[in-house]
Structure 1
Amino acid sequence: MNLQQLKVFVLTVQLKKLYLVAQQLEITQPTVTFHLNKLQEELGIALFHTKSYHVIKLTEAGQAFYHYASQIHSLSSEAEATMDVYRGTAAGVLAVGSTHTPATYLLPPLLKQLKASNPRLTVMLDVRPAPFILDKLKRYELDIGIISNTRVDDPELVSKPLLKDDLVLIFPPDHALASAGELQPGDLAEHPFVSHEPGSISRQLIDRWADSNDVKFQISLEVSGTEALKAAVKHGLGYGMIAEAAVQEEQLEGKLCTRAIPKWVPERQIYAVRHRNKLITPALQMFWKSLAEAFSEQRK
């Protein structure tokens, strides 16, 4: 078993077509088949259900082997890229994973600063839900994750809280509750509500708050995107609850009003996360430090 065989195996699982693997590795399709057959022969067990590879479906053993092979492949690629940096043949790559709110409203100025000091650095930004980001970090497919979550509790990962990610109420400026006196949870039940989609972290937090305060929402609309939710509130479909960082621009422009959610208990923060065993490259070290510095004042 060698690295080339592992690379062919991992790409076959990911791309599902042998000709695509051959194109990416710049080898012939029969060579791809040879490596797959040789790998299974050396392991002494079938990794795929068929020998023809027309349908790529892993056996149970193949699924277990892929877990390790993908990590070895990622680490091998990282090692090659790092050596390229030291040889002066490349500027390096920083793979960043982020959930929607930090990727849209917090990271752009920091990435601009990073690029200004490292103009040849390539930054790859993958915007996904938190569970996807954490999984990619554990597979060594990302250098760092910036996620909104209630907590990060995994022995394989190192996490650093950057900023509270509290939800706030948002209203159009002419909404009755925008300028009302002190709000009580029950006041919100009397007006139409634009809700996050079921299953999202925000919706889970909001539902727990509603249950603990005996609030029954009048849900007028459920949406799956932050921008869509803000647009619905602007057009008078109801009030909403959203991450405070996501609405700062509209608040400054006077397009939306914000208020604290009554009896809200903060649970969520924005974290910087990396794998405990992943190499800390100069670019990652610089970015990790810049994140800590950028949000240190806001945490006080």
Structure 2
Amino acid sequence: MNLLKLQMVELIEKHKKVTTVADAMGLKQPTVSFHMKNLEQELGVQLFESRSGKVHLTEAGRSLYHYSVKINALAHEAERVVKEYDQLGRGTLKIGASYVPGTYILPRLLSSFTQAYPRIQLSLIVKTAPVIKELLINHEIDLGIMSCEPFQMPPLLGETFCEDELVLICSPGHKLASYPQLFPDQLQSVPFLLHSPESSTRQMTMKWAQSNRIELNGHIELDSLEAIKQVVMLGESISFVSRLAVLREVERGELVFRPIPQNPYKRYVYYAYNLDRRQSALLEGFIQHLLKPVYNINTAR
């Protein structure tokens, strides 16, 4: 079993057609069919089955697909790292970030890094923190930058970049805006905008409510931070968000923020990478760029 056959398994699951797989790999269709049959003979089990003009993986084939994705990603990563090692002047770096650092910290940092190293190609994917961790484990990205609570998830190593303070936001005309200090029971009857269940903000919000024995009036659930801010501006609702995400709106007088009352939970921005991969000079250089004092969370705008 070689890498070529594992690449075929991954592409067959994606395209479901031998002709498309052959085109993607630059091979002829009979060659792909030959390798498919050869792989089944090699493993002694049926991996592929034809239904309605398409090729599908059997249960055994899906098991092999699970490992094919990981092995193909590792092989691609190994090739990149070897080529880029000790060559900070060029290469490719794949970064994953959760919403807050991906939107409010990284754009300025990525721009300055590419200005310093114009031959380096950077790609950024923005997902929830749990998804970013999975991408790191599967070697699909080189570096993850996430807002979340402290975590231990071998083989990932997470280092603290800065604190990401959660605050309560409301419109300037909201009744809570007149209080310099709030108490948990004041939030109980107010319409509350909830983040999506997968977000670290939602998880921390529910932990806060439980610890303070508060039943939040979560009448709307939104998976967009920008949408949450827009609804809060309308006047009735409140929410918990990253302070970094509302600096501009607060400066313009569109939103007001207050410390979350009796909140013992801390959230940080972490940068994390997989210890099972060898760090290239490119990755090390980017981390050093990330840690420059100019990118403090209070000034990154």
TM-score (norm 1): 0.88
Which stretch shifts more, 102-111 or 18-27?
18-27
The separation in 2 between residues aligned to 1:104 and 1:258, in whole angstroms, is: 19
Work out whether 1:265 is the aligned partner of 2:264: yes
Q: Which amino acid aligns with 2:26?
A: E
Deviates more, 1:76-85 or 1:37-46: 76-85
* Residue matched to 2:280: 281
Structure 1 range deviating more: 38-47 or 121-130: 38-47
Q: Which residue in the other structure is 1:13 paired with? A: 13
Q: Secondary structure at the match of 2:176?
A: coil
Shift of residue 20 of structure 1? 2.8
Q: Counterparts of 2:255 and 2:226 in 1: how far apart (Å)?
A: 13
CA distance in 2, matches of 1:196, 1:103: 17
Q: Does the residue aligned with 1:236 lie in a helix, a strand or coil?
A: coil
Deviation at 1:82, TM superposition (A): 4.3
What residue is the counterpart of 2:208 in the other structure? 209
1:162, 1:296 within 8 Å by CA — same for their partners in 2? no
Amino acid paired to 2:131: F
Residue aligning to 1:34:
34
Task: Please say if 1:2 is aligned against 2:2.
Answer: yes
2:192 and 2:72 mapped to 1: Cα distance? 48
Report the equivalent of 1:54: 54
Q: CA, structure 1 residues 33+20, in 2 after alignment: closer, same or farther (shift >3 Å)?
A: same
Deviation of 1:295 (Å): 7.7
Q: Is the 8 A contact 1:221 1:237 kept in 2?
A: no
- Please tell me whether residue 175 in structure 1 is matched to residue 171 in structure 2: no
Conserved 8 A contact 1:220-1:237: no
What is the alpha-carbon distance in structure 1 between the residues aligned to residue 295 and residue 110 of structure 2? 17
| Distance of 1:121 and 1:37 partners within structure 2 | 41
Aligned 8 A contact 1:91 1:120 in 2: yes
Secondary structure at the residue paired with 2:291?
helix
1:294 deviates by 4.3
The reply to whether residue 237 of structure 1 matches residue 268 of structure 2 is no
Residues 205-246 of structure 1: per-residue CA shift (max 9 Å, x gap): 212211221223233432221000000001113121111221
The Cα of 1:185 is off from its aligned counterpart by: 0.7
Q: Is 1:104 aligned to residue 103 of structure 2?
A: yes
Which residue matches 1:160?
A: 159
Tell me how far 1:85 sits from its aligned partner.
4.8
CA apart distance, 1:197: 3.3
Number of the residue aligned with 1:113: 112
> CA–CA distance in 2 between the matches of 1:148 and 1:162?
10
Mean alpha-carbon deviation: is it higher for 47-56 or for 252-261?
47-56
The offset of 1:151, in angstroms, is: 2.9
Which residue of structure 2 lines up, in the alignment, with residue 43 of structure 1? 43
Report Cα offsets for 1:70-97 as digits up to 9, x if no partner. 22212222333345557x9x93211111
The whole-number CA distance in structure 1 between the counterparts of 2:217 and 2:51 is 57
Please give the alpha-carbon distance, in whole angstroms, between the structure 1 residues aligned to 2:51 and 2:218: 53
Q: How is 1:62-211 mapped onto 2 (pairs within 5 angstroms)?
A: 62-82=61-81, 84-85=83-84, 91-211=90-210
SS of the counterpart of 2:244? Answer: helix
Q: Which runs of 5+ in 2 are unaligned?
A: none
Against the structure 1 CA distance between its residues 42 and 294, is the aligned structure 2 distance closer, same or farther, given a 3 Å change threshold? farther
